[in-house]
């Protein structure tokens, strides 16, 4: 009987990152993936001939460069192409663009407000200061504040020192940052609604909160911590779609001797005498391993894959109380030509970046009110990109792939399951919005894939279709993520670990949870972690 050193449940990017690090530490690692392909939410799929769909995750920025380096992802084919711009279209026939050049950025803002144009530097300084405080925490295991173990005390001390290293002003700002809404935060810098809306979108993407909800200022930071080749805060496309990230990870894993089984859905984790011994696949096949790592979200892992009796009540209660909350959907579109936006000059770099239509805080917040009421937004917030403007490999010549990330879409519609008719209504709200700004848009559509939380959960396995495997509110961050007492990638079951985005530091194609979990596992096995780069210095 084969006994693997480690079995990873789920071949998403965090599962693969975790697998790579374990395999490179000399373990014999198996990844079991339910779908016939790996990638989880970071995939490229040919859903209609000639078109590659980044049908779930669609941008690359947060992925930690330390991990890319350790796992040699460029060698295995990963290329990231940075956005060249971005814009919010306004209803008066204009747009507000984001340009990479600092002075162009200022002049663009000055078209709307000279004051706001000159307020940007102070805003950028304050946000950068906060990012610098938080970024080093991404690649560390959060301490347990109730523990007296030297490691936890050491980590607490590190946190304390980092905090004490801030000036009084920064400390005050840090405390406010964690509790303010992005709307209120932006009010302190800017006067123009569309400029605020332009920044606020980073405070809501992926969450079930509106821009006026306290706590969304922190979510903005989470999105600002990305980098493309050292350019902090930059976003980019993976050439060949987001599947290129997981494809490179899988190649890296296999090249170091790892094994992947696709089409292998885990029915449950094999537990005996309080210890994980392997997994049982849907067909009944038992696969044995010395330890099991789950890339699935914390609810799926502990409420579906493990029997209740194996878990302490307080842990189960906290897992049940973990807020996952699907809030978004995707509409992926194959187009027979590049859509035109009359408001946008034809030579604008904005075509090669992210585009939005929500030009006021009120529209954004009202879209959220719809979600709270249990329906999809009548006037949704879209984060729309056309990656084929920079990556022709994703569509036949002259044709384009468009990805629309849509908020808000509730996990259930008025308390019931989504129906196909609901899904069509949801899609129509998106297409109608785009068509308002792009005449003839409907005629360009060759094929369309619509994913509500229902589809995302069914296919990717993300509970409620939440892209972050759990809300990024304070009650679910750091030592509270996923649940208090178990923020260190371990679980109440011996030999069972977590490595998904439900764990610290959370979602986005970042890889940090997978890496941090590997570090904890290797520590438990008393194995070397010398193949893992320490987090880059922030000086």
Find the binding residues for other proteins in span 432-471 (CB under 8 A).
432-433, 436-437
Give the strand pairing for 29-32 and 259-261. Answer: parallel
Angle of CA points 434, 440, 442, to nearest 5°: 65
Judged by CB under 8 A, does residue 48 bind other proteins? no
Judged by CB under 8 A, does residue 157 bind other proteins? no
Report d(CA 292, CA 269) in Å as an integer: 8
Closest separation between CB of residue 390 and other proteins, Å?
17
Query: What separation in angstroms does the CA of 490 have from each of 55, 291, 497, 520, 532?
Result: 31, 11, 5, 8, 19
Binding mask 202-241 for other proteins (x = CB under 8 A): -------x--xxxx--------------------------
- Edge-to-edge strands, sheet with 496-498: 259-261, 29-32, 6-9, 292-294, 496-498
Judged by CB under 8 A, does residue 39 bind other proteins? no
Which residues, 6 or more positions from 101, have their beta carbon under 8 angstroms from its beta carbon? none
Residue from 49, 146, 530, 537 binding other proteins (CB under 8 A): 146
Residue from 37, 76, 158, 178 binding other proteins (CB under 8 A): 178
| Binding to other proteins, residues 314-333 (CB under 8 A) | 314, 318, 321, 323
Residue from 46, 187, 285, 443 binding other proteins (CB under 8 A): 187
| Residue 143 or 513 with smaller CB distance to other proteins | 143
Judged by CB under 8 A, does residue 168 bind other proteins? yes
| Binding to other proteins, residues 351-410 (CB under 8 A) | 362-363, 365-366, 369-370, 372-373, 375, 378-379
Q: State the number of binding residues for other proteins (CB under 8 A).
A: 86
Judged by CB under 8 A, does residue 132 bind other proteins? yes
Judged by CB under 8 A, does residue 151 bind other proteins? no
Judged by CB under 8 A, does residue 145 bind other proteins? yes
Sign, CA dihedral 469-474-477-482, equals negative
Judged by CB under 8 A, does residue 125 bind other proteins? yes
Adjacent-strand bridge partners of 334: 401, 447
Binding mask 247-286 for other proteins (x = CB under 8 A): ----------------------------------------
Helix H, strand E, coil C: the string for 357-368 is: CCCCHHHHHHHH
CB-based burial label for 408 (10 Å; 0-12, 13-18, 19+)? buried
Residue from 1, 2, 49, 103 binding other proteins (CB under 8 A): 103
Alpha-helical runs (H) found in 322-440 = 361-372, 420-437
Give me the phi and psi of 195, to 5 degrees please: -70, -40
């Amino acid at each position: 009987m084969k006994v693997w050193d480690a079995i990873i449940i789920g071949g998403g990017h965090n599962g693969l990152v975790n697998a790579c690090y374990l395999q490179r530490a000399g373990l014999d690692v198996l990844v079991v993936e339910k779908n016939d392909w790996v990638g989880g939410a970071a995939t490229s799929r040919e859903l209609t001939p000639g078109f590659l769909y980044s049908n779930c995750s669609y941008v690359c920025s947060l992925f930690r460069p330390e991990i890319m380096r350790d796992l040699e992802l460029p060698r295995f084919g990963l290329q990231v192409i940075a956005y060249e711009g971005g814009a919010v279209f306004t209803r008066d026939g204009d747009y507000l663009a984001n340009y990479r050049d600092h002075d162009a950025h200022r002049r663009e803002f000055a078209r709307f407000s000279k004051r706001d144009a000159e307020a940007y530097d102070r805003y950028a300084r304050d946000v950068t200061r906060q990012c610098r405080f938080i970024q080093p925490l991404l690649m560390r295991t959060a301490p347990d504040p109730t523990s007296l173990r030297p490691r936890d005390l050491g980590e607490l001390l590190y946190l304390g020192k980092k905090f004490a290293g801030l000036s009084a002003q920064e400390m005050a700002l840090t405390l406010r940052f964690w509790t303010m809404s992005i709307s209120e935060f932006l009010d302190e810098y800017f006067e123009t609604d569309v400029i605020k809306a332009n920044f606020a979108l980073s405070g809501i993407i992926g969450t079930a909160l509106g821009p006026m909800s306290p706590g969304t200022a922190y979510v903005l930071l989470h999105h600002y911590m990305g980098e493309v080749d050292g350019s902090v805060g930059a976003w980019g496309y993976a050439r060949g779609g987001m599947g290129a990230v997981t494809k490179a990870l899988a190649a890296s894993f296999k090249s170091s001797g790892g094994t992947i089984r696709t089409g292998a859905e885990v029915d449950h984790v094999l537990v005996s005498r309080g210890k994980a011994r392997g997994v049982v696949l849907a067909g009944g096949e038992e696969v044995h391993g010395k330890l099991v790592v789950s890339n699935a979200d914390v609810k799926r892992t502990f409420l579906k894959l493990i029997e209740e009796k194996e878990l302490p009540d307080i842990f189960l209660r906290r897992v049940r109380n973990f807020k996952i909350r699907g809030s978004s959907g995707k509409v992926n579109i194959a187009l027979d030509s590049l859509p035109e936006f009359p408001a946008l000059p034809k030579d604008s770099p904005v075509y090669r970046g992210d585009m939005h239509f929500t030009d006021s805080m009120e529209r954004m917040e009202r879209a959220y009110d719809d979600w709270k009421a249990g329906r999809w937004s009548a006037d949704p917030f879209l984060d729309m990109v056309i990656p084929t403007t920079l990556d022709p490999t994703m569509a036949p010549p002259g044709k384009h792939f468009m990805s629309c990330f849509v908020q808000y879409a509730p996990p259930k519609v008025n308390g019931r399951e989504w129906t196909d008719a609901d899904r069509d209504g949801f899609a129509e709200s998106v297409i109608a919005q785009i068509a308002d700004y792009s005449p003839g848009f409907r005629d360009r559509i060759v094929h369309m894939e619509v994913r509500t939380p229902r589809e995302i959960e069914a296919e990717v396995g993300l509970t409620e279709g939440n892209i972050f495997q759990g809300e990024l509110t304070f009650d679910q961050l750091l030592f509270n993520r996923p649940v208090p007492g178990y923020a260190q990638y371990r679980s109440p079951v011996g030999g069972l670990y977590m490595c998904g985005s439900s764990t610290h530091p959370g979602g986005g194609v970042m890889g940090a949870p997978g890496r941090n979990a590997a570090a904890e596992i290797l520590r438990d096995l008393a194995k070397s972690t010398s193949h893992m780069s320490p987090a880059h210095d922030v000086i």
